[in-house]
Amino acid sequence: MFSQFTEMLGLIGQALEKDGIAYTTLTGDTPGKTRTQRVVRFQQVRFRSF
């Protein structure tokens, strides 16, 4: 999903956690190394939401 507001991503993340759904986020504030790690984890299908 996409949002222009990182605050909205935080709210969505809370709802996903409540339902036991693994997720990760990627924002403009995500450092390069962390960004790469999150993309790799997403591609490994460990997360249902990105």
pLDDT for 45 beyond 70: no
- The pLDDT-based confidence of 31 (bands split at 50, 70, 90) is very high
Residues 38 and 24: beta-carbon distance below 8 Å = yes
CA atoms within 13 A on the CB side of 38: 14
For residue 47, name the pLDDT band (cuts at 50, 70, 90).
low
Which of 24, 16, 27 lies closest to 40 in space, CA to CA? 24
Residue 20 clears pLDDT 70, i.e. is over it: yes
**CA dihedral sign of residues 26, 30, 32, 35:** negative
